[in-house]
Chains A and B, each alone.
Chain A
Amino acid sequence: MYEIKVGMSTCGVSAGARQVYETLSTEISDRNMPVVLKETGCIGMCYREVLVEIVDGNNQGYLYGEVTPDRAREILASHLTLGRPISEWVVRGPQATQDDSFFAKQQRIVLRNCGVIDPNSIDEYLALGGYSALGKVLREMTPKEVIDEVTASGLRGRGGAGFPTGVKWNFARQAPGNTKYIICNADEGDPGAFMDRSVLEGDPHSVIEGMIICGYAIGAHQGYVYVRAEYPMAVHRVRQAISQAEERDLLGDHILGSDHGFHIKIKEGAGAFVCGEETALIASVEGRRGTPRLRPPFPAVSGLWGQPTNINNVETFANVPWIIHQGGTKFAAFGTKDSKGTKVFALAGKIVRGGLVEVPMGISINEIIFDICGGIRDGQKFKAVQMGGPSGGCIPASMGDICIDYAEITKTGAIMGSGGMVVMDGSTCMVDIARFFLNFTQNESCGKCIFCRIGTRRMLEILDRITAGEGKEGDIDLLYDLAHKIQTTSLCGLGQTAPNPVLTTIRYFRDEYEAHIHERRCPSHVCAPLLRYFVNAELCTGCALCVRSCPVGAISGEKKEVHSIDTTQCSKCGRCYISCPSGAVVKE
C-alpha cells in the first residue's frame, strides 16, 4: 500500500501541483491502484516544486521534486507499478541526494507537521500528538503554570518585535476585565515572506491549539484570526480546521469537557501592510480604517472593543503546543542566551535553493545561505541579505558570520523581523533595492503621521533622483536627516522602521550612493538612466540580431561588420544586451 502526498500549498499549486494531483488521481483510479492520495503542506523546498512524496509499505519516503503531470505518470509507472524509484528525480529518500544538505542544519518545531500531514485532516494532526498539549493544559496545569512554561521557554514574539511571549501573556492575564480577546496576527505583508501562510496552509491546527492554550492562560474566551484575504487557501484551511475542532469539542463552550470555553472567528483583512501593526489590526477587526493609535494604553490593557487583548503572530502560536508538550526547557535548549528556540525564514532572491527553512537560533547567516540554501545562483558572489522585509535592513556579505539572534541582528541596523530574507548578489544595486523597499512602505503608510506620509515620500523622491542620475550633493545627508526624524516621530512600527533599508544600505554601501551621485554611475549596472550600452568591436560578429532587437533604431552597422550604438538615441531598454549571442554588447 502506497501513500502519495502532493505538496499543495500555495507555492506548490502555483508551480502546477493541482494538475499533478489531478493526473495522479485520474491515473490511480483508472488503473485502480491501491494507493492513498492526499494533499500536504509546504515542506520548504519551494525551489523543487512540485513535490510529490511516495511513501511505501515500509514507511520509506521518496520525495520527488519538479514533478510535472508527465513525470507523475512515469513515477507511477516505474515506482509504484514496477517498484523502481526514479532516483535521479528523488530529492530526498533512502539514498543520499545533493538536496539533503537543505535539511541537515534545520530544526523543525513550527514546521514539524508541514509537508508531513494532510492539513485537511484533523485526524492526522491528532495522530501526531496534536491537541495533547491542550489536553495537558486543561487537565494538569493552571493558567499561571502555562504562562510560566512559556516564559521558561524563552519564546519571543515571532512577528518581528521579539517581545517575550510569556511576559506579554502575563500582562493580558493581569489586566482587569472580564472579557478578554486573543488575536492571531496572520496579516503577513513583507514582500517575499510566506512563513505564516505556509504554516496556516500546512498545519492550521497547531496555530488553533496554540490560541486555545493562550486563551486558557490569560482568561480569554474569544479569539480572532486576522488573515489577509489574499491568502484564500490559508483562509480555507483555517476555517475548515476551526469547524473540525468545533466538532471534536476542541473549540466551544466546554473544551474537552472542561469549563474552559473558547471560540475562534476569522477576520479577513483587505491586505493593508499597516494592519500588521497591533492597534491598526484591532481597528480593522472592529471594522474601522486600519490606522495605528497611540500607545499606551497597550492592547493588553485596552485592545479590541476596549478590552484586554493579546496579539501574537502565527509562528508564535504554532510554537506553543510543542513547548507545552516538550517542555519550555527543551525549547530553551536551542538558540543563544537571549534568543531561544528556532526561527522560520522564507528565503528569496538570488539564491540556489529558495524556500522555507526553520533553523535553530544562533546559526549564522552564512550557514543558512550557503549550507542550507546552496549559496548564490549562477556562481555569483553573495553581496547582501535584506532581513526583516521593508522594516528591516541590508546586512552585507562581510557580516555573514553574524548569528541569528535578536540583539546581534539589531546591531547591524536590520531586524529579525518575521523571517523574510531576500538574498542579493552583485547584480543588485543597493540604492535601487533601498528604493524598492521604501516605495513599498511609503505606499503602505496609513497616512496618519506627517513624517511617515510625507517624509518617506520625500526620501523616495531623493532615491528616485539618485537612481535617475540626478542626485545632488548633500542628498545622503538629507536622507540621513529625514530618516532619523521619521524614526523618532512616527506613531507605529511602520514609520519608525521605514527608513531602515535606506540607513543600512547607506551604512554598508555608501560608495554605491556616492558613485551614483558624484560619478553618475551605477556600479551594479542596474539603474537604467545611468547606463551606457556600447558594442565591443572585438567580440562583435556582425550578426545584426541586436539591430533587429532595438526598438528605437539606435543600432547601425552592415551585416558581418562591427555594429555601433548611437547613445543619443538609445533608450537603454537592454534588449540588445540580451539578444547578443557573443556578449559583444556591453553596459557600463
Chain B
Amino acid sequence: MGLVRLTINGQEIHADSQKSVLQVVREQRLDEIPTLCYDDRLPPYGACFLCVVEVTGRRGLVPACSTKVEEGMQVRTQSEKIVEARRTCLQLILSDHYADCLGPCRQNCPAGVDIQGYISLTRLGKFQEAIRLIKEANPLPSVCGRVCVRKCELACRRQRVDEPVAIDYLKRYLADLDLMDMYVPETKRKNGHKVAVVGGGPAGLSCAYYLACEGCAVTLLDAMPKLGGMLRYGIPEYRMPKAILDREIENILGMGIEVRTEKYLGRDFTIEGLTRDGFEAVFLALGAWRSQNMRVKGEEAKGVVGGIDFLRGLQLESPPSFRGRVVVVGGGNTAIDAARTSLRLGADEVTVLYRRTISEMPAHPMEIQAAEEEGVNFIFLSAPVAVVTENGRATGLECIRMSLGEPDSSGRRKPEPVLGSEYFLHCDSIIAAIGQEPDLAGLRAGFGSLASPETQKGDRLVVQPSTLSTSIPGVFAGGDVVTGPATVIEAIAHGHRGALAILRYLLLDPALPRHEDFNSQRDIFGELPDSLFEEIPREPRNPMPEIPLAERRKKFQEVELGYSDRAAAAESNRCLECGCNYLYDCRLRQYATQYHVTKPPYLGAVNRFNIDDRHPFIVLNPNKCIQCGRCVRTCAEILDVAALGFLHRGFRTVVKPAMDKPLLSTNCIACGNCIAACPTGAITEKLPYPRQGPWPMDQQPSLCTYCSIGCNLNLRYFDRDLFTISPGESPVPNNGYLCFRGRFGHFYLRDNERLMSPLVRKNGKLREASWDEAMDRVAAGLTDVIHRHGPGATAIFASPKLSNEELYLLKRLALSVLKTVNLSSFSHFLIPRDLNALDGSLGITTSTNPLCDLETADVIFVLNADPLTENPVAGFLMKRRAKNGARLLVASSVDLEFNRHAYLWLDSRKRTNTMLLLGIMRQIVDAGRVNRDFVRSRTEGFDEFCRQLDQVSPGQVSGVTGVSREKIVKAAELISDPRLNVMAVYNIDSLDEQGTHDLKAVANLLLLTGKLGRAGNGLILLREHCNAQGLLDMGIGNCTFPGYEPCSREAAARYEKRWRADLSHLFTHVNADLRVRMEGRDIKACLILGENPLKERRNSRYLDGVEFLVVQDLYLTETACRADVVLPASLITESTGTFTNCERRIQRFNRVFPARSGLENWQMICQIAERFNAVFPYSSPEDVFREMAELSPFWVTTDPPFASSGGACWNLGTRADGEDFLFAKGFPLPGGKARFQTIETELSVPEYNLASYCVTDEKLRLFREKNLMRAGE
C-alpha cells in the first residue's frame, strides 16, 4: 500500500504500490514499453510477453503489465536481452500471420506508390486525392503512366482471376486529369538549406521535388538544353509526348526550383564550386548516357549508330528521313524504341536482332507486341559478328546463330554461338542498342581538388545503399549513374530516397539509419491457393484505346489514347484490395518495424482461415489475429455479451464468434468495441464505401450526438466524405467504449442528400436562394409580424441537439433582438414530463452524481429506463457492475433484455412505479431503516410525508403493482442498507413507464435513506438528446437567464450592459403558457431550429396559427416543407461548440470540415441578429462561451471546458473539492435543506407515441433496420 520508491532505468521514482511496472512507466513517461495484449481497462492478461523487462533479482524477464512495483525494485526496460526477446516474440507471431500489410503491387513498386490507396480513391471519384497520394511517392505520374515497366502489374494477384489490374493506365488516367489542373503540394517553410541537384532526369527531378517540398532551396543543373534527361532524349515522342513532359516538369519547377541548363559538370561547374557557393549537399543524378559498343569489327563505320545516340539525336535536330533497311541490335526497350522510331522515320524494313529468344527480352512485352503490330521484324538467337562495310559505310551485318545454354548469373540461359552458322544480313543502317553506361568523364574533373567518389564496373558510382551517400561527405547520388541503365520508376525512387537522406544529413544525425517499414506477406508461406480466387467473378481488363495501326507508322503521335471515365471506373473496381486496411494503425506492424523484424526466421506451418464478412459492420479476419484476447475479454468482461471466444487448443487456437457461428447468429450487439480492442487488422469495420482503403487518416476528438451520455469519440477522416468513428481516449464518461449508434451511426454526416443551401418560398414553392436573400426574408418576415402583432407574437424553438453556444445565442436573439420570451423546445412540448419535478425536493432537477459513481455503487436502482436501448453506454457500465458484484434493481413493467442482468426485477405493472416506490418507502419506515441523522439534519417535511405513507398499506402496494411482497422487502433492505452505496438511475425522457410522480418519489426515497450528497450515492437522470441538459441550463423554456439565474433586475442589468440592449420587456410581459398560446394561435412568427414537430400530424395544432415560419434543419423535414424559409443546418463536424451531457459534463467538439452550406449554425444566428442591426461580436463559438462564463457565475467552476477532452461538470458551487457530485454542503433551497414532497399516486396517464422527432435519430433507426435486415437475409 501507499507509495514505494524504486529505480527504473537508473532513475529513482516514487509510485503507487498498487500499480504495475507498465502503468508506472507509462504514467511517468519513462519509456514506451510495447504490448499487444494489455488493455488498461481490463485485468492484465499476460499473453504476448512483449512488455517484458528486467528486474534485478528476478530470474529471466518479467512481464511489466502484471509485475507490481515494489520498494527498492530495480527495473530496466531496455537491454539487448529485452530487445532480443521482444523481437523473437514478434517473429513468432509473424511466422503465423497469414496476411499482407501491403498489396503485392505496392510491395513490388520500386517507389512504393500506394497503389491500392489511389485505386480505391479513383473508384470513389476522388481523383485529386488520388493524385496527391501518388505524388507522395512519385512526382512524375504523367511520365510513369506512359512509360513505366509496371512491376506492380506483374505482381498483381488479379491475374489469378483473369488479368492484372491496369494499374498504370489508371495512373495515366489520373495524371491526364491532373494535367488540366495540376496539384501542387504544400511546401514547408524554407529551412534555409541550399541543395544542388545535378541532372534533370527522373532521379534529379524527383529529388528536387521532395527537397523543395521540405523547404530546401534547390538548384537543378543539367548538361542538356532542356530538362527531362532520358525521358526527353531517350524515349520517343509516340510514347512520351514532350508537351506532357514539359507540363509535368514545369509544375515541379513551379515549386521554386532554380534551373541552370547546359551546365556540364566538370566543364561549366565543379562540386567544389558548388560548395563554395553555399550548397550544403549535392545529389548527382547524371544518368547513363554512353551507348555500349557491340565490340565487333567495323562498328565505327558510317551508318552504325548507338541506340541512345540515335534517339537523342531526334530531339536535338529536326528528324532525319530514314530510308532503306535498318537492323537494330539488342532486346531492351531502347532497341524497341529505336526500331519503332525508324519505322516512323520512313525506313522500309526494320529488323530487331536479339541473341536470345522473345521470352528473355528485357523490353516490356507490350512494347514488343506493339512493334510487331507495326511491322517490325524480329530475328532471335542471332548475334552480330562484324559490320560489313563498303567505302566506310555499313552495308550489312555478319551474324551468327546462337543457342541457349545453362542459366548465367542473371538467371537467364546463356546464349552460345552455334559453330559455322554465320550468315549475312543486308542492311543500310545499324542501330546498336545493346546497352548504356554512365559517362563519368566530366565527373572526375567536376570534383576538382576533391577526391573523386568511388566507382565500380561500367563507371557506376558506389553509394551506401540505404542513404545513397557517396564516399564524399555531402555528396549523394542516385539513378542510372548508380544502378546502370534502369527504369524510370527506380530513378524516381532513388530521387525520393536521396532527398530524404539529404534531409537527414542536413537536419539531423547523418548516421541515422533508415528503417524500412515491416511488411507481412502471404506469399512467403507459399503460393496462394486457387480457392482464394475461384469465387471472384471474372471481369476482363479494360483495353487501352489506341490510334489506328495504319496511322502509327506515319507519325509520332502518341499511340495510347488514355482511359475513358467509364473504363477508369470499371478498372478501378477490379482491384482485389490485397493490402490490409488497418495498415496505418496496426500495432503489430508498428512494433515489427520498431524492433527491426525482417523476414521471420521461424517459418513453418501457418494457420489459414476464411475471412468472415457476413456481419453488416464487422469484418473478422482470423488470419491477422494474434490471440491477445482483448476482443474476447472486452466482449465478455466489459459488455457481458461473450459473442467472441477462443476455439481449439495449441497452435490452432483462434478467436472466432462463439461456437464458430456467424457473428450475427451470436448475441453480438454490434457495438464495435471489439474493433477498437483489436491491435491488428483481425477485426475491422466494414466501411460504408465501395472500396475499403486504406487511406492515411487524420483524427479529431468529437462527441456522439445520439444520446445524453456524451460519449467521446474521434472522427477519423481522410476527407469530408471518407471518414469513420473510433472511440475517444478520455476515461470519462465512456472510457473508450461506444455503442452501435456512436460507432456506426455516422453515415448521416456524409449524406449528400441533405440541404446545402437556403430555400425561400416563392409563389408557394420552396426555391433555392442565397444566404443573403434568405436572411432578408427572415428579417422581413419577423419584422412584419412584430409590427402587426408585437414582439410577443414571435417564438423560437430549439432542438436539444444544438450546442450550448448556439442555444445561448438564441437566448440572446430572443431576449435582446426580437424582445420576446417565447423561447422553448418542442422536446418540452411533445413528451409530457415535468422537467422541474425535483426543484421542490432538491432545488434543481438534474443528475446529482457523475456516471462514474456507478463504478463504486453497491446497489443500482434503475427506474423507468431501458439503458441498453436508450443510453447503451450507461447500460454497459451497469451491466458490468452487476457482473462484478453490484446489485442491480430494475423497476420495469417490460421484460427488458437489461433485466437479465438484474439481481432483482421489480416487475411492476405499467405506470404503477409511484406506488411501488411508496411501498418500498413504507417498508423502510416500518422496518426502522430510515436514515434518521440525514432526515433530521438535512431535510424538511418528513413527518408530513410519513402521514402520506401511512395511507399506503403493503398489501395494497402488492395488489396495485403486482410486485411480490418479498421483492419489495428485499429492495427496501438493499436500498436502505447504510453500508451500501446506492445509485438511482432514471430516464426522464423514457416514455414507457412515465408516471409524473415517480421522480419525486425517487427523490424522497434517496432523502429517506440519506443516499445523497456523497460520492457513489445519488441520482442519475438519463436523457434522450445529447444536449438536453444544456437546453435546460440555458434557460430555454424557462424565463430565467442561463445557469438557472432568476430574472431579477440586477441580472437583467448585467445582461443589458453586456448585450447593449434593453431588456425591460422581461418585467412587463404577460406570463402565459407558450403551449396554450401556440394552440390559441397567438404566435404568428416562428423560428424552429433542428426540430420537426410535424413528424406527428397532430402537432400541427401548434403551428396552425403561424403566419411566418423559418425552419433550420439538415433535411427538408415535414416541418421544413411548411416553412417560408428553410435554412440548412451545419453538422457537428462543421462547427465547434460544447454539449452538456446528462451528468452535467460540459464537453467540447471541434470543427473538422468547413460547413458545406457556407454558414455554421452560430454564424447563421448572428446574421439574423445583424439583420436587426444588433451587434453579435463573436469571431468563434469560444467567444460565445467566454461571454457566457463572464456573465454568469454558473460557468465559472467549469471554465475552461475547452481545455481537456473529458470536459468538466458544473456543480452549483456545492461540491467538495475534486468531486463531481452535488449537495455535499447543502441543497439550493431556502435553509439549504431538501424537502420531502407529497406524492400523488396517479394511475392514469394518457397514451402517446415515441416518435423520433430529431432527424438524425430517425435516420439511424432506418439505417440500422436496413442493414441488419440485409445481413439477416
- Is A448 within 8 A of B629, CB to CB? yes
Q: Provide the bound-state CA to CA distance between A445 and B47, in Å.
A: 12
Does any Cβ of B come within 8 Å of A28's Cβ?
no
Q: Provide the bound-state CA to CA distance between A444 and B649, in Å.
A: 6
Q: Which of A272, A443, A458 contacts B604 (CB 8 A)?
A: A458
Q: How far is the CB of B607 from chain A (nearest CB, A)?
A: 10
Given contacts A447-B649, A449-B49, 17 further A-B contacts (CB under 8 A): A294-B66, A445-B649, A445-B651, A445-B653, A446-B649, A447-B648, A447-B651, A448-B627, A450-B627, A451-B49, A451-B92, A457-B604, A458-B92, A458-B604, A481-B88, A488-B61, A491-B46
Q: Provide the bound-state CA to CA distance between A133 and B60, in Å.
A: 44
B632 to A, closest residue via Cβ: A289
Known: A446-B649, A447-B651. A294 touches B92 (CB 8 A): no
- Is B650 within 8 A of A461, CB to CB? no
- Is B653 within 8 A of A446, CB to CB? yes
Q: Provide the bound-state CA to CA distance between A527 and B256, in Å.
A: 72
Contact-residue size bin, chain B (C-beta under 8 Å from the other chain): 20 to 34
**Top 8 A-B pairs, shortest CB-CB distance:** A447-B653, A488-B60, A461-B604, A489-B49, A454-B92, A294-B46, A457-B651, A294-B66
Q: Which of A291, A293, A457, A482 contacts B650 (CB 8 A)?
A: A457
Does any Cβ of B come within 8 Å of A386's Cβ?
no
Q: Provide the bound-state CA to CA distance between A128 and B566, in Å.
A: 94
Chain B residues positioned under 8 Å from A396 (CB to CB): none
A485 to B, closest residue via Cβ: B88
- Is B646 within 8 A of A289, CB to CB? yes
Does any Cβ of A come within 8 Å of B550's Cβ?
no
Q: Provide the bound-state CA to CA distance between A291 and B66, in Å.
A: 16
Among B59, B602, B645, which residue has the most Cβ atoms of chain A within 10 A? B602
- Is B48 within 8 A of A450, CB to CB? yes
B601 to A, closest residue via Cβ: A478
Does any Cβ of B come within 8 Å of A85's Cβ?
no
Does any Cβ of A come within 8 Å of B100's Cβ?
no
* CB-CB contacts below 8 Å: B636-664 with A: 645-646, 648-653
Chain A residues positioned under 8 Å from B66 (CB to CB): 294
Q: Which of A272, A296, A489, A491 contacts B85 (CB 8 A)?
A: A489
- Is A453 within 8 A of B627, CB to CB? yes
Q: Provide the bound-state CA to CA distance between A450 and B51, in Å.
A: 13
- Is B49 within 8 A of A447, CB to CB? no
* CB-CB contacts below 8 Å: B952-976 with A: none
Chain A residues positioned under 8 Å from B474 (CB to CB): none
Q: How far is the CB of B1192 from chain A (nearest CB, A)?
A: 49
Does any Cβ of A come within 8 Å of B605's Cβ?
yes
* CB-CB contacts below 8 Å: B374-423 with A: none
- Is B646 within 8 A of A458, CB to CB? no
Does any Cβ of B come within 8 Å of A65's Cβ?
no
Q: Provide the bound-state CA to CA distance between A445 and B52, in Å.
A: 21
Q: Provide the bound-state CA to CA distance between A447 and B607, in Å.
A: 13
A496 to B, closest residue via Cβ: B60
Chain A residues positioned under 8 Å from B248 (CB to CB): none
Does any Cβ of B come within 8 Å of A10's Cβ?
no
Q: Provide the bound-state CA to CA distance between A139 and B1250, in Å.
A: 70
B96 to A, closest residue via Cβ: A454
> A260-301, CB under 8 A of B: which get 1 and which 0?
000000000000101000000000000001010110100000
Chain A residues positioned under 8 Å from B219 (CB to CB): none
> A451-480, CB under 8 A of B: which get 1 and which 0?
101111110010000000000000000000
Does any Cβ of A come within 8 Å of B211's Cβ?
no
Q: Interface majority SS on A: helix, strand, loop or mixed?
A: helix
Chain B residues positioned under 8 Å from A457 (CB to CB): 96, 604-605, 650-651
B94 to A, closest residue via Cβ: A454
Q: Provide the bound-state CA to CA distance between A447 and B95, in Å.
A: 15
Among A296, A446, A449, A487, which residue has the most Cβ atoms of chain B within 10 A? A449
Does any Cβ of B come within 8 Å of A113's Cβ?
no
Does any Cβ of A come within 8 Å of B626's Cβ?
yes
Q: Provide the bound-state CA to CA distance between A138 and B651, in Å.
A: 49
Chain B residues positioned under 8 Å from A449 (CB to CB): 46-49
Q: Provide the bound-state CA to CA distance between A481 and B81, in Å.
A: 12
Chain B residues positioned under 8 Å from A482 (CB to CB): 88, 602
Does any Cβ of A come within 8 Å of B44's Cβ?
yes
Does any Cβ of B come within 8 Å of A40's Cβ?
no
Q: Which of A272, A296, A489 contacts B52 (CB 8 A)?
A: A489
Known: A294-B66, A458-B604. A453 touches B49 (CB 8 A): no
* CB-CB contacts below 8 Å: B72-102 with A: 85, 88-89, 92-93, 95-96
Does any Cβ of B come within 8 Å of A9's Cβ?
no
Q: Provide the bound-state CA to CA distance between A442 and B61, in Å.
A: 22
Contact-residue size bin, chain A (C-beta under 8 Å from the other chain): 20 to 34
Known: A455-B92, A489-B89. A461 touches B605 (CB 8 A): yes
Q: How far is the CB of A26 from chain B (nearest CB, A)?
A: 46
Q: How far is the CB of A329 from chain B (nearest CB, A)?
A: 34
Q: Which of A444, A456, A487 contacts B60 (CB 8 A)?
A: A487
Q: Provide the bound-state CA to CA distance between A108 and B1074, in Å.
A: 95
Q: Provide the bound-state CA to CA distance between A491 and B60, in Å.
A: 13
Among A457, A489, A490, which residue has the most Cβ atoms of chain B within 10 A? A489
- Is A447 within 8 A of B89, CB to CB? no
Q: Provide the bound-state CA to CA distance between A65 and B638, in Å.
A: 61
Chain B residues positioned under 8 Å from A488 (CB to CB): 59-61, 85
Does any Cβ of A come within 8 Å of B45's Cβ?
yes
Q: Provide the bound-state CA to CA distance between A199 and B85, in Å.
A: 43
Q: Provide the bound-state CA to CA distance between A490 and B49, in Å.
A: 8
Q: Provide the bound-state CA to CA distance between A485 and B181, in Å.
A: 58
- Is A294 within 8 A of B649, CB to CB? no
- Is A453 within 8 A of B650, CB to CB? yes
- Is B650 within 8 A of A450, CB to CB? no
Q: List 18 A-B contacts (CB under 8 A).
A: A289-B645, A293-B45, A294-B66, A443-B649, A445-B653, A447-B650, A447-B651, A448-B653, A449-B47, A450-B92, A450-B93, A451-B88, A454-B93, A457-B96, A482-B88, A489-B52, A489-B61, A490-B49
Q: How far is the CB of A348 from chain B (nearest CB, A)?
A: 24
Q: Provide the bound-state CA to CA distance between A384 and B49, in Å.
A: 35
Q: Provide the bound-state CA to CA distance between A488 and B652, in Å.
A: 22
Chain B residues positioned under 8 Å from A461 (CB to CB): 604-605
Known: A458-B92, A489-B89. A443 touches B650 (CB 8 A): yes
Q: Provide the bound-state CA to CA distance between A272 and B61, in Å.
A: 28
Among B46, B60, B89, B93, which residue has the most Cβ atoms of chain A within 10 A? B46
Among B47, B52, B604, B652, which residue has the most Cβ atoms of chain A within 10 A? B47
Known: A458-B92, A489-B89. A291 touches B46 (CB 8 A): no
- Is B95 within 8 A of A454, CB to CB? yes
Chain B residues positioned under 8 Å from A491 (CB to CB): 46-47
A291 to B, closest residue via Cβ: B646
* CB-CB contacts below 8 Å: B186-231 with A: none
- Is A447 within 8 A of B44, CB to CB? no
Q: Provide the bound-state CA to CA distance between A291 and B604, in Å.
A: 25
- Is A444 within 8 A of B92, CB to CB? no
Chain B residues positioned under 8 Å from A272 (CB to CB): 649
Among A291, A448, A491, which residue has the most Cβ atoms of chain B within 10 A? A448
Chain B residues positioned under 8 Å from A296 (CB to CB): 68
Q: Provide the bound-state CA to CA distance between A71 and B990, in Å.
A: 84
Chain B residues positioned under 8 Å from A453 (CB to CB): 627, 650-651, 653
Q: Which of B45, B85, B93 contacts A294 (CB 8 A)?
A: B45
Q: Provide the bound-state CA to CA distance between A191 and B650, in Å.
A: 17
- Is B46 within 8 A of A293, CB to CB? yes
Chain B residues positioned under 8 Å from A490 (CB to CB): 49
> B144-172, CB under 8 A of A: which get 1 and which 0?
00000000000000000000000000000
Chain A residues positioned under 8 Å from B44 (CB to CB): 294
Q: Provide the bound-state CA to CA distance between A489 and B95, in Å.
A: 17
* CB-CB contacts below 8 Å: B780-835 with A: none
Q: How far is the CB of A398 from chain B (nearest CB, A)?
A: 29
B45 to A, closest residue via Cβ: A294
B648 to A, closest residue via Cβ: A447
* CB-CB contacts below 8 Å: A469-521 with B: 481-482, 485, 487-491
- Is A450 within 8 A of B85, CB to CB? no
Known: A458-B92, A489-B61. A450 touches B645 (CB 8 A): no
